[in-house]
């Protein structure tokens, strides 16, 4: 099969288009023939050696966490969708039994396991689910990693309740965009932050009540006057903005920091 492989940690330019053996499903595994895969910021950081586990001894590797396609083959004892079924992938492998904390075997598809930038991908059968019929393969492929992260940040760890106020800095990224939509759907009032007015306006189209530009002087005071305090901030950017989120928090407010990476730039 064809796959996009990373052989050196020198940025996206070090990716190459190669022929590699087709994956064979083992016991309890499924092979998916991919129709679409999605790009995550995680993939870029891996190519730069800026993601945990992205080391020379982990190479070569096929990147890609998200994907949508059809079940191509099933290993012995593999349950789940039948061959030919249109499916979407859950890339959060071996999370474990605790919904709040991943287990010791947890990892994300695409490092250290070969991922979805290929014609086929192999993964545990319980991580493959029927694709919602109202979604195209392009739409379904773009959801899993970002949406799962957003859901856990808002509800599993953030305990979001209807009527609360949510602040989402760094709007424009995948997780932040899902956070806005999910929080709005759950009955929260959502405010966003960005260094670009265009991103703020797009977020308002998706359901945000308003937003502030980091380039404005005293943007946190501006947000305070708009929101009157924040119940839950979902911070995927870090940096100096974190101190502002502490000041913006209402009594009993929460700040959730999803994901982890070495480089946390405000955008």
Q: Tell me the per-residue pLDDT of 74-126, one tens digit each, with 9 for 90 and over.
A: 999 999 999 999 999 999 999 999 988 889 999 999 999 999 999 999 999 99
Range of the structural domain that residue 84 is part of = 2-142
Q: Tell me the Ramachandran region of residue 48: left when phi exceeds 0, alpha when psi lies from -120 to 50, beta otherwise.
A: alpha
Residues 174 and 125 in one domain: no
Return the pLDDT at 266: 35
- How many Cβ atoms are within 10 Å of 231's Cβ, its own excluded? 23
pTM of this structure:
0.88
CA angle 30, 36, 40 (to 5 degrees): 100
In this structure, the answer to whether residues 19 and 117 fall within a common structural domain is yes
Please provide the size of the chain in residues: 267
Does residue 193 belong to any structural domain of this protein?
yes
Q: Indicate whether 267 belongs to any domain.
A: no
Domains of the chain: total: 2
Edge-to-edge strands, sheet with 66-74: 120-124, 29-38, 66-74, 86-89, 128-130
Listed residues 94, 115, 142: the one ending a domain:
142
Q: Which of 142, 173, 188 is the last residue of a domain?
A: 142
Tell me whether residue 262 is in a domain.
no
Pairwise CA distance, residues 27 & 76, whole Å: 5
Residues 181-192: what's their mean pLDDT? Answer: 98
Does residue 185 share a domain with residue 206? yes
- The pLDDT of residue 265 is 37
Calpha distance 239→46 (Å, rounded): 21
Q: Mean pLDDT in the chain?
A: 93
Distance CA 47, CA 62 (A): 11
Domain boundary among 142, 165, 198: 142
Q: What is the pLDDT of residues 132-181, one digit of tens each?
A: 999 999 999 999 999 999 999 999 999 999 999 999 998 988 999 999 99
């Amino acid at each position: 099969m064809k796959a996009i492989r990373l052989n050196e940690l020198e940025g996206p330019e070090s990716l190459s288009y190669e022929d590699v053996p087709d994956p064979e499903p083992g016991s309890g595994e499924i092979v998916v023939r991919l129709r679409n895969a999605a790009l995550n910021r995680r993939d870029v950081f891996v190519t730069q050696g800026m993601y945990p586990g992205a080391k020379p001894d982990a190479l070569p590797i096929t990147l890609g966490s998200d994907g949508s396609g059809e079940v191509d083959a099933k290993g012995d004892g593999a349950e789940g969708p039948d061959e030919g079924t249109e499916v979407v992938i859950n890339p959060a492998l071996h999370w474990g039994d605790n919904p709040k904390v991943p287990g010791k075997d947890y990892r994300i598809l695409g490092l250290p396991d070969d991922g979805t930038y290929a014609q086929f991908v192999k993964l545990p059968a319980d991580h493959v689910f029927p694709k919602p019929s109202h979604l195209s393969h392009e739409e379904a492929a773009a959801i899993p990693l970002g949406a799962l992260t957003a859901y856990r940040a808002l509800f599993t760890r953030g305990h979001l309740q209807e009527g609360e106020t949510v602040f989402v800095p760094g709007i424009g990224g995948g997780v932040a965009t899902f956070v806005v939509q999910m929080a709005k759907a759950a009955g929260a009032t959502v405010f966003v932050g960005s260094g670009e007015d265009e991103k703020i306006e797009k977020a308002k189209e998706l359901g945000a009540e308003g937003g502030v530009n980091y380039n404005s002087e005293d943007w946190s005071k501006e947000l305070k006057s708009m929101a009157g305090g924040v119940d839950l901030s979902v911070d995927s950017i870090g940096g100096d903005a974190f101190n502002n989120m502490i000041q913006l928090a209402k009594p009993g407010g929460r700040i959730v920091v999803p994901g982890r990476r070495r480089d946390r730039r405000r955008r």
